[in-house]
Amino acid sequence: MITGITGQDGAYLAKLLLEKGYEVVGSMRRTTISDPIRLMELGIAGDVELCDIDLFEFSNIVRALERVKPDEIYNLAAQSFVSLSFEQPLYTGEIDGLGVARLLEAIRAVVPSVRYYQASTSEMFGKAQQVPQSETTPFYPRSPYAVAKLYAHWMTVNYRESYGLHATSGILFNHESPLRGREFVTRKITHGLARVRAGELPRLDLGNLDAQRDWGFAGDYVDGMWRMLQQESPSDYVLATGRTTSVRRFVEMAAAAAGFSLAWRGKGLDEVGIDTRTDKVIVGIDPRFFRPAEVDFLIGDAGKAKAQLGWEAKTTLDALVAMMVEADMRRVREGIRGI
């Protein structure tokens, strides 16, 4: 069972598990637009059984577990956009924090022998206390999202220690793909630049260009999730590439892949990215995209995952950027809007 199957990781994980011969049940919450577009994009929408779970509601979790009796549960469902969590801190806490407590309680009551994966995050390191960050680095969350995820992480550890659940917390650094939501910075950049290139958008406005992230490819990371649940004993694992890159550098790489010749001019809020071939501004700064508290720098140490799971990030950042730009240029060319 995968909660949050309509999201980026849900789609890649479902594909991986189907390829391994699993029967996959994916949970969705009811929304007005209910097509699982990412599953459709991967060509697996018809191969997955869908059921309704909203993590706000205890009773629908219990009923789904009683009916499905899963062997493994990957809890990927969350309000996952850090920026929105500053606007909706209580909702984010309800779903990303208490939602996990509801799920763990339901598991304890209905399927205590299930193997459980909790989607924890490098955002929990926040104002990072060590470089690079590993399973033993102290946490310092910097957003309501990260605070809620930290509660969920500790609840996962607590239910493992208190009740012997096979509950694992995967502390994943940022992972991206052509299926990434368009609100996250990498996809916003590749999608935005593809639209600028096609003349659909005059320029792309961003926030803090100097934040640095350890960006990997989501396809590699879902394999790490699966490996975690195949271990005899549950534990906590960091998944990361071990390299870090600024948003500014990501823009430069994506611009080059989209056929622009980008040069930066100006400073602070007046900084712009110019296409030197046309002298047009293609990137600008909009303070609306700054956050009340920022996570400036993340870089992960996935040594434990390598040693115990045999997992390593395989995809280079160059390959990831090329894959995302190519997908967005094609979608814009073909007029594909949904994803």
Catalytic residues: 121, 123, 145
| Run of H or E including 124 | none
Q: Pick the piece of the chain touching ligand NAP (CB under 6 A) from 8-16, 41-49, 101-109, 292-300.
A: 8-16
Q: Of 140, 83, 313, 307, nearest to 214 (Cα)?
A: 313
| Cα dist from 160 to 104, 136, 165, whole Å | 10, 18, 5
Instruction: Give min distance, CB of 318 to ligand NAP, in A.
Output: 19
In whole angstroms, give the CA distance from residue 53 to residue 19.
24
| Bridge partners of residue 273, in order along the sequence | 264, 283
By CB under 6 A, what part of segment 216-275 binds ligand G4F?
Answer: 247
Q: Contacting ligand NAP (CB under 6 A), which of 39, 64, 103, 172? A: 172
Choose from ligand G4F, ligand NAP, none: what does 56 bind? Cβ within 5-8 Å by kind: ligand NAP
In whole angstroms, give the CA distance from residue 183 to residue 51.
26
Choose from ligand NAP, ligand G4F, none: what does 247 bind? Cβ within 5-8 Å by kind: ligand G4F
Choose from ligand NAP, ligand G4F, none: what does 244 bind? Cβ within 5-8 Å by kind: none
By CB under 6 A, what part of segment 98-157 binds ligand NAP?
Answer: 119, 121
Choose from ligand NAP, ligand G4F, none: what does 274 bind? Cβ within 5-8 Å by kind: none
Residues that bind ligand NAP (rule: CB under 6 A) add up to a total of 25
DSSP code, position 232: S
Tokens of 84: 């929105």
- Residue 184 in contact with ligand G4F, rule: CB under 6 A: yes
In whole angstroms, give the CA distance from residue 293 to residue 285.
17
Residue 170 in 3-state DSSP? strand
- Residue 206 in contact with ligand G4F, rule: CB under 6 A: yes
Q: Pick the piece of the chain touching ligand G4F (CB under 6 A) from 40-48, 66-74, 119-127, 261-269.
A: 119-127
Name the residue with the smallest CB distance to ligand NAP. 7
Q: Contacting ligand G4F (CB under 6 A), which of 142, 188, 191, 197? A: 188
| Cα dist from 144 to 130, 149, 175, 205, whole Å | 21, 9, 20, 24
Segment 24-27 long-range contacts (CB within 8 Å, at least 24 positions apart) = 24/48, 24/49, 25/1, 25/49, 25/50, 25/51, 25/68, 25/70, 26/1, 26/2, 26/50, 26/51, 27/1, 27/2, 27/3, 27/51, 27/52, 27/53, 27/64, 27/77
- Residue 211 in contact with ligand G4F, rule: CB under 6 A: yes
- Residue 174 in contact with ligand G4F, rule: CB under 6 A: yes
Decide if 4 contacts 75 (C-beta within 8 A).
yes
- Residue 3 in contact with ligand G4F, rule: CB under 6 A: no
Q: Contacting ligand G4F (CB under 6 A), which of 29, 280, 291, 304? A: 291
The amino acid that residue 168 corresponds to is: T
Q: Contacting ligand NAP (CB under 6 A), which of 39, 61, 77, 111? A: 77
- Residue 56 in contact with ligand NAP, rule: CB under 6 A: yes
The residues that touch ligand G4F, with contacts defined as CB under 6 A, are: 80, 82-83, 121-123, 173-174, 183-185, 188, 206-208, 211, 213, 247, 289, 291, 294-295
